Chains A and B, each alone.
Chain A
């Protein structure tokens, strides 16, 4: 099968000779080095990403200092002003207070996780423990499909179905008039964003949690049941406890996904960088529009098409914040899961 080719290479052509040499069996050493070098590409990409994004974001931090993170003024008009500056903007053009989008990102991510975590735990338990065999066979493709529906389809359904429904039926006229001086309630809201994000991240969590749950040795649970508890109690007390690191890791990964989801938020969150205020009442709070770090980048993407260096630096800063939190979450999930390998639990 693997004999070295005998005889001369077919032609004296240089590239062909190289090809022939590559087709010869490789030495182990060379293969190891080549494969290792290719494996480093992902690491290089991450390092390059942090460096490039940080360099592009630097001017905005330089001119604003730590108050960049603070609140103050209308973010939309601050960003709008940046588009009106020249190619070499003065230091004053960089003025921005990014709190509304940071707050919006934290809010949507938290709400989505609060909805998705119990849902994911319950459905993982259902899939692994209680679902009849035929239903379990159906659940696996369902979860896989739900995880792979493109975000733009969720966004389309959100903007054409959910947003008008919330705007016309859930928000009452008195609620609209009570805040009409600060913000217009159209239906694009924290509520819709959180619900759609929850639907998007639940399957990711279900996939990870149910894989871990299925990996718990049956004997552990049987031991508990032999002591007299029923199946649900055994699952809750033994299996869930054993896979706690996997649950935390799944939550962290889902959190990273929710942080970085931009298209849905840009489509259904209403087109205002508003910071929802709890002072308006809990229901209205849910109905208020907002913008996240990522959707601010998408909504202002014209800045990258030339002419507004201040704005594009600000957007790179948003991206840097997203990138650093995503790296922290992924690394956290990776490190948390490491001890699970000892028990072959993923």
Chain B
């Protein structure tokens, strides 16, 4: 939101609190109003309690079941059919998928945001792009997953995934899953970059234009550097969306027990092969899957939650440091 376009640019948090006059004492409120006030407190504290309960519960279970060797051993099937061993392969799978997803979503998201804010002509096209990113944000991940399957199953996509003995393209690989992951990381990246660009004061652009810079040079040398923190925030949000996603991995990565390369070329064979991530490891080892070893599921879920907590902390740090260091506040609210 460009603060200069509106006469109402006062941040509400900075607005002076009204003085305690008549009617500000709760005792004079109507009963219904008092009930609503209490309910608002209860709802706010309830949210905190639920979050706290989830974190504490997962923490207790995690400390109970997480052993360091779980992180460095590969999963295997024990004699009784249950999954044992650790979750090294899912950890690697999560990392690889995140890398592919961000590598695609970052340029697309930033370019879209720059185009919308800085060019955005013709306006009907800009509206279309904007609304289509909103639609991508609202699309269920399971639909994205099977759309990816429909694409990567096409025979000319064969080199990007593995092929069965009968020559049918399976359409399931790290490349396929990572590409579709970029679709769920795109909306937060786009939104963060767009909000940042919109918060850059107009005089920064005008100063650059006055020096004879072209639009694109202004974008590269002035605007993008000043929204770096927003891009970082968006990327972090995108990463936490990717590592938390299950449906795409279940369908497009086959959620195999171990990462299974396809082919013989060192890195490409890994990317063409199937594998699993922490989320599918949890899913498969919970009573909902076949693994039936909930202890390992708890341990992996704890690690997953630690990642999410870390990413949230990073987002908090970035935005608070940004608010301190820069004159303009990029985006407000949550």
Contacts and interface: CB of A to CB of B under 8 A. Distances in A.
A253 B28 CA distance: 38
Interface in B75-132: 107-108, 111-112, 114-116, 119, 121, 125, 128-132
Contact of B18 (A1, A210, A225, A322): A225
Interface string B121-149: 10001001111111111111111101101
Given A52-B147, A159-B287, A222-B18, A148 B214 contact: no
A330 B134 contact: yes
Interface stretch (B48-56, B66-74, B155-163, B264-272): B48-56
A230 B283 contact: no
Given A141-B316, A231-B24, A301 B287 contact: no
Interface in A25-68: 25-28, 31-32, 34-36, 38-43, 45-46, 48-49, 52-53, 56
Interface in A211-269: 211-212, 214-219, 222, 225, 228-233, 236, 253, 256-257, 259-263, 266-267
A118 B44 CA distance: 12
B43 A126 contact: yes
Given A150-B246, A230-B24, A27 B214 contact: yes
A125 B40 contact: yes
Contacts of B311: 148
B167 interface: no
B297 A43 contact: no
B15 A144 contact: no
Contacts of B114: 35
A322 to B, nearest CB: 5
A31 B223 CA distance: 15
Nearest to B146: A319
Nearest to A143: B334
Given A139-B44, A232-B29, A40 B139 contact: no
Nearest to A31: B216
B308 A35 contact: no
Contacts of A46: 132, 135-136, 139
Contacts of A346: 1, 333
Nearest to B38: A122
B327 interface: no
B290 to A, nearest CB: 12
A143 B125 CA distance: 34
A262 B288 CA distance: 13
Contacts of A142: 47-48, 51
Nearest to B282: A152
Contacts of A34: 111
B44 A260 contact: no
Given A36-B125, A207-B334, A262-B140, A148 B308 contact: yes
A48 B28 CA distance: 60
Interface residues of B, number: 107
A83 B178 CA distance: 29
Interface string B190-221: 00000000000000000000000111110101
A299 to B, nearest CB: 9
Contact of A330 (B10, B24, B137, B297): B137
Contacts of A207: 333-334
Contacts of A32: 115, 119, 121, 215-216
B243 A150 contact: yes
A298 interface: yes
Nearest to B29: A230
Interface string B290-324: 00001001100100110011011001100000000
Interface of B: 1, 5-6, 8, 10, 12-13, 15, 18, 22-24, 28-29, 33, 36-37, 39-44, 46-48, 50-51, 54-55, 57-58, 107-108, 111-112, 114-116, 119, 121, 125, 128-144, 146-147, 149-151, 164, 168, 183, 186, 213-217, 219, 221, 237, 240-241, 243-247, 250-251, 254, 279, 282-283, 286-288, 294, 297-298, 301, 304-305, 308-309, 311-312, 315-316, 332-334
Interface of A: 1-2, 25-28, 31-32, 34-36, 38-43, 45-46, 48-49, 52-53, 56, 118-119, 122-123, 125-131, 135, 138-146, 148-157, 159-161, 199, 202-203, 206-207, 210-212, 214-219, 222, 225, 228-233, 236, 253, 256-257, 259-263, 266-267, 294, 297-298, 301, 304-306, 315-316, 319, 322-323, 326-327, 329-331, 333-334, 343-344, 346
11 contacts: A119-B43, A148-B244, A155-B286, A159-B287, A160-B298, A210-B333, A211-B334, A222-B18, A257-B138, A294-B142, A331-B135
Given A42-B186, A152-B304, 17 more contacts: A2-B221, A28-B216, A46-B136, A123-B40, A127-B44, A130-B40, A130-B41, A145-B308, A148-B244, A152-B283, A152-B301, A230-B28, A231-B18, A232-B36, A267-B288, A322-B140, A344-B8
